Amino acid sequence: MKTRLRPPGFVTSAMIFAYAFLYGPIISLVFYSFNESKLVTVWGGFSVKWYSELFKNEGLLNAALQSLKIAGLSATLAVIVGTLASVALTRFGAFSGRNLMQGILTAPLVMPEVLLGLSMLLLFVSMEQVINWPQTRGWLTISIAHVTFSIAYVVVVVQSRLKSVDRSLEEAALDLGARPWKVFFVITLPLIAPALLAGWLLAFTLSLDDLVIASFTSGPGATTLPMLVFSSVRLGVNPQINALATILILLVFAGIVVAGRVIRANKD
Amino acid sequence: MLKPYHLAAGALLSVLVSHPLAAAEEKLLNVFNWSDYIASDTLDRFTAETGIKVNYDVYDSNEMVEAKLMAGKSGYDVVFPSAFPFFARQIQARIYQPLDKQKLTNYGNLEEGVINSLNATDEKILDFAVPYMIAGTGVGFNRGKVNALAPGAPTNSWDLIFDPKWSDPLKSCGISVLDDSGEVFAAALVWLGKNPRSEDPEDFKAASAAIQRIRPNLRYIHSSSYINDLANGDLCVAHGYGGDLVQARDRAGEAKNGVDISVYLPVEGAQVVIDVMGIPADAPHPDNAHIFIDFMMRADVVGPITDAVGYANAIRGTDAFVSEQRRNDPVIYPSPETRAKFFTVPPKPQAYIRQLTREWTRIKTDH
């Protein structure tokens, strides 16, 4: 007799619960973006007025653009620096200080955000006193702070990919007379490209999401979207934010689909 | 030794950075305010009149402003903290510059009552600050349910929360108070007919006893949940911030869900939060900041703001710029009698705060 390991329907119900757990809140957020009432959780009839109001709300749109700019810049910088660091850690043998470097690079993974934000703020303030820069804090200082913690995530992703890449490919290219730089750009980089993309997306998301560090390091004229959303809680979250979130979810979803395609195409 | 690349790096840095200090008063102003605290056209009007461009950022808590200003070089020219205890405490840390009253031509527009109330609590504060908006702490209640469960309840008094006669029957449909020990103790003190600023141990004990008596009637102690719950009809009586209660009332009206919320500032006296405008000591554009503060003391500017945000202002003669509906609202436009009973509470000594926090934690957890 065959014994069933699982009760019937277990997988299906587990899946339904898991998806409901993960996506229930998002669905309700999208749902209430079509709410007529100004109070997010009181249903007042169907309406798309918050979408049209959203496009008239300069502050909210500016904050969204600001966030995208900072996220794009910091993700790109973090991928460049993080990739160089990962190559150094995986390809350059046991140079002195390697363990220290590994530890320092990944420290922000476990560091509380408040600590990181405050230390960056104090750094910028004392830098201003010593080298007279940065005179104002703003999107640039937020980006720098974001690069600092994003590098850790990029290094984790890229390093593991580098370790799994077949080194004989690089050695063969070297054997055939390619210079190390050329090997890096022509052989290594294409091989780890999916990890770079994954690292970039991770860094981008983390930057877009960050509230604490941005609050500490921002200055006049640099309000990011999370800061604006959080500060509007005092008067109740406005459905315009639901509308904006719905649009962002659509964008992110599209981005993930594209990235997934690219990564899969790369594997084949 | 200075190497060429040092110079190059220096040049690069100076290109990257704008120089707000170089030109002492460029036509720019950095404002840091509470979110949703001005009318939609206020800044455009200011820029149109003065040619000064405004960078406008918002915050959600007094603590955030304090953290930014204390770290130094925040870059902001005008900030809007609450007068007590925040602004008063920050003056002692020397993070504000004294206002040049010569430059504030509209200073005479300020309402005397507000000036006196600020002066009475801290005589130094007016050297540094101009009052902006006033929010009373009051009570919001579900008219239908209160009438049904406690007919004849005095819906203009702290009795609704603190008197067991009314509070007990209302327990079943839900009462909430703010998670703010200072607010709740001050409310209990005025209900008992005592001075809400009192630090007397006997008064403290009496207030604590009054709160503990009605503790079982409280569904929760929270500073924002009541907005939604009142509007949805899930809560009967809420002790809350005036602006939030008005919002709950308006949303219930919009949703047409049969919930009728009324809001009042108790006759015994309501604690008020006065938000003030101040200029940080290291503000890059102090002259523009004075121009802005002066602009914000004009009736035709502040009136529409009161209309938009639903908070009372400190400027005389704004009636013409406030809609009928707002003017008839006793919370936004309190009567002179209510205004006369407004009180503020100055910063308390550390020992008292410690005692208060300990007692509050006990009350919150013990039920």
User: Each residue of A137-179: pLDDT tens digit?
Assistant: 889 999 999 999 999 999 999 999 999 998 999 999 999 999 9
pLDDT grade, residue B17 (50/70/90)? very low
In this structure, the strands spanning B312-313 and B129-142 are antiparallel
Q: Are residues B213 and B249 in the same domain?
A: yes
CB-CB contact of B292 with B78 (8 Å): yes
CB-CB contact of B187 with B206 (8 Å): no
B70 lies within 8 A of chain A by CB: no
d(CA B28, CA B47): 9
Kindly tell me the burial class for residue B331, based on how many C-beta atoms sit within 10 Å of its own C-beta (0-12, 13-18, 19 or more).
buried
**pLDDT over 50 at B13, yes or no:** no
**pLDDT over 50 at B151, yes or no:** yes
A16 lies within 8 A of chain B by CB: no
State mean pLDDT over B139-152.
Answer: 92
State mean pLDDT over B149-167.
Answer: 92
Q: Are residues B256 and B322 in the same domain?
A: no
d(CA B71, CA A126): 10
A75-127: pLDDT as tens digits: 999 999 999 999 999 988 888 889 999 999 889 888 898 899 989 998 998 99
Q: Which of B64, B72, B247 sits opposite A215 (nearest CB)?
A: B64
A35 lies within 8 A of chain B by CB: no
Q: What percent of chain B has pLDDT over 90?
A: 51
User: What pLDDT, on the 0 to 100 scale, is given for residue A238?
Assistant: 75
Amino acid present at A151: I
> Is residue B359 included in any domain, yes or no?
yes
d(CA B247, CA B263): 10
**pLDDT over 70 at A236, yes or no:** no
User: What pLDDT, on the 0 to 100 scale, is given for residue B10?
Assistant: 47
CATH number at residue B27: 3.40.190.10
d(CA A75, CA A197): 10
Q: Are residues B247 and B312 in the same domain?
A: no
pLDDT grade, residue B67 (50/70/90)? confident
Q: Are residues B244 and B159 in the same domain?
A: yes
Q: Are residues B355 and B232 in the same domain?
A: yes
Provide, as residue numbers in chain B, all residues whose Cβ is less than 8 Å from the Cβ of A41.
Answer: 228, 232
Q: Are residues B156 and B99 in the same domain?
A: no
| DSSP state for residue B52 in the 8-state scheme | -
User: What pLDDT, on the 0 to 100 scale, is given for residue A79?
Assistant: 97
Provide, as residue numbers in chain B, all residues whose Cβ is less than 8 Å from the Cβ of A236.
Answer: 227-228, 244, 247, 251
d(CA A80, CA A75): 9
A45-64: pLDDT as tens digits: 888 888 988 888 888 888 99
B2 lies within 8 A of chain A by CB: no
User: What pLDDT, on the 0 to 100 scale, is given for residue A40?
Assistant: 65
Q: Where are the beta strands (DSSP E) in chain B?
A: 28-34, 53-59, 78-79, 129-142, 175-177, 218-221, 237-241, 261-264, 272-278, 312-313
Task: Quote the Cα angle for B144-B147-B151, to 5°.
Answer: 175
pLDDT grade, residue B339 (50/70/90)? confident
CATH architecture of the domain with residue range A69-222: Orthogonal Bundle (1.10)
**pLDDT over 80 at A38, yes or no:** no
State mean pLDDT over B65-78.
Answer: 88
Q: Six-digit token pair at A21?
A: 């757990």
pLDDT grade, residue B24 (50/70/90)? low
- B289 three-class SS: helix
DSSP string of chain A? -PPPSS-TTHHHHHHHHHHHHHHHHHHHHHHHTTBSSSSTTS---B--HHHHHHTT-HHHHHHHHHHHHHHHHHHHHHHHHHHHHHHHHHHS-S-TTHHHHHHHHHHHHHS-HHHHHHHHHHHHHHHHHHH---SS-SHHHHHHHHHHHHHHHHHHHHHHHHHHS-HHHHHHHHHTT--HHHHIIIIIHHHHHHHHHHHHHHHHHHHHH--HHHHHH--TT---HHHHHHHGGGG---HHHHHHHHHHHHHHHHHHHHHHHHHHHHH-
Q: Which of residues 95-124 of A touch B (CB under 8 A)?
A: 121-122
**A205: closest CA of chain B, how far (Å):** 23
User: What pLDDT, on the 0 to 100 scale, is given for residue B253?
Assistant: 82
User: What pLDDT, on the 0 to 100 scale, is given for residue B300?
Assistant: 94
B265 lies in which domain range? 136-271+346-365
Going by C-alpha positions, the residue among B64, B14, B31 that lies closest to residue A135 is B14
d(CA A61, CA A56): 8
Q: Kindly report the number of other CB atoms within 10 A of residue B20's CB atom.
A: 18
ipTM of the complex: 0.74
User: What pLDDT, on the 0 to 100 scale, is given for residue B205?
Assistant: 94
Give the best residue of B57, B79, B224 to mutate against chain A (max A CB count within 10 A).
B57
> Is residue B253 included in any domain, yes or no?
yes
B258 lies within 8 A of chain A by CB: no
Q: Six-digit token pair at A255?
A: 């981005």
Provide, as residue numbers in chain B, all residues whose Cβ is less than 8 Å from the Cβ of A134.
Answer: 17
User: What pLDDT, on the 0 to 100 scale, is given for residue B59?
Assistant: 85
User: What pLDDT, on the 0 to 100 scale, is given for residue B343?
Assistant: 87
Amino acid present at A236: G
CB-CB contact of B27 with B2 (8 Å): no
Contact B57 A221 (CB under 8 A): yes
> Is residue B38 included in any domain, yes or no?
yes
Q: Which of B17, B36, B59 sits opposite A235 (nearest CB)?
A: B36
User: What pLDDT, on the 0 to 100 scale, is given for residue B367?
Assistant: 61
Those residues with Cβ within 8 angstroms of residue A63's Cβ, 6 or more apart along the chain or in another chain:
A223, A224, A225, A227, A228
State mean pLDDT over B213-233.
Answer: 89
**pLDDT over 90 at A239, yes or no:** no
Q: Are residues B296 and B312 in the same domain?
A: yes
Q: Which of A41, A228, A235 sits opposite B228 (nearest CB)?
A: A41
Judged by average pLDDT, the poorest of A43-47, A220-224, B356-360 is A43-47
B67 lies within 8 A of chain A by CB: yes
Across all residues in chain B, what is the average pLDDT? Answer: 87
Q: Are residues B201 and B305 in the same domain?
A: no
- B39 three-class SS: coil
Going by C-alpha positions, the residue among A200, A78, A52 that lies closest to residue A143 is A78
Residue B263 forms beta bridges with which residues?
Answer: B140
B64 lies within 8 A of chain A by CB: yes
Residues of A203-218 as b/e, b for ≥16 C-beta within 10 angstroms? bbbbbbebbbbbbbbb
**Among all residues of chain A, which has the CA nearest to that of B78?**
A220
Q: Are residues B120 and B155 in the same domain?
A: no
Contact A37 B254 (CB under 8 A): yes
State mean pLDDT over A234-241.
Answer: 72
More confident residue, B203 or A267: B203
Judged by average pLDDT, the poorest of A202-216, B229-243, B329-343 is B329-343
**pLDDT over 50 at B3, yes or no:** no
More confident residue, B1 or A53: A53
Q: Report CA-CA distances (Å) from B272 to A59, B230, B242, B357.
A: 29, 21, 9, 21
Amino acid present at A41: T
User: What pLDDT, on the 0 to 100 scale, is given for residue B46?
Assistant: 96
A226: left (phi over 0), alpha (psi -120 to 50) or beta: alpha
State mean pLDDT over B228-242.
Answer: 90
Q: Kindly report the number of other CB atoms within 10 A of residue B16's CB atom.
A: 10
Q: Kindly report the number of other CB atoms within 10 A of residue B36's CB atom.
A: 17
Residue B56 forms beta bridges with which residues?
Answer: B31
CB-CB contact of A188 with A173 (8 Å): no
pLDDT grade, residue A4 (50/70/90)? low
Give the best residue of A32, A42, A50 to mutate against chain B (max B CB count within 10 A).
A42
User: What pLDDT, on the 0 to 100 scale, is given for residue A15?
Assistant: 92
Q: Six-digit token pair at B329?
A: 């609202």
Number of domains chain B contains: 2
Whether the ω angle into residue B266 lies within 30 degrees of 0, i.e. cis, is no
> Is residue B16 included in any domain, yes or no?
no
CB-CB contact of B25 with B288 (8 Å): yes
Task: Quote the Cα angle for B112-B42-A56, to 5°.
Answer: 145
Contact A41 B64 (CB under 8 A): no
Helix then strand then coil, in percent of chain B rounded to 5, is 50, 15, 35
**pLDDT over 50 at B236, yes or no:** yes
Contact B255 A215 (CB under 8 A): no
Q: Are residues B178 and B89 in the same domain?
A: no
CB-CB contact of B104 with B94 (8 Å): no
Contact B20 A136 (CB under 8 A): yes
User: What pLDDT, on the 0 to 100 scale, is given for residue A169?
Assistant: 92
d(CA A115, CA A104): 15
Contact A220 B32 (CB under 8 A): yes
Q: Six-digit token pair at B180?
A: 């703010």
Q: Are residues B229 and B284 in the same domain?
A: no
Judged by average pLDDT, the poorest of A240-249, B24-33, B122-131, B250-259 is B250-259
Provide, as residue numbers in chain A, all residues whose Cβ is less than 8 Å from the Cβ of B75.
Answer: 136-137, 219-220
> Is residue B2 included in any domain, yes or no?
no
User: What pLDDT, on the 0 to 100 scale, is given for residue B20?
Assistant: 45
A133 lies within 8 A of chain B by CB: yes
Q: Which of A41, A121, A233 sits opposite B71 (nearest CB)?
A: A121
Q: Are residues B292 and B210 in the same domain?
A: no
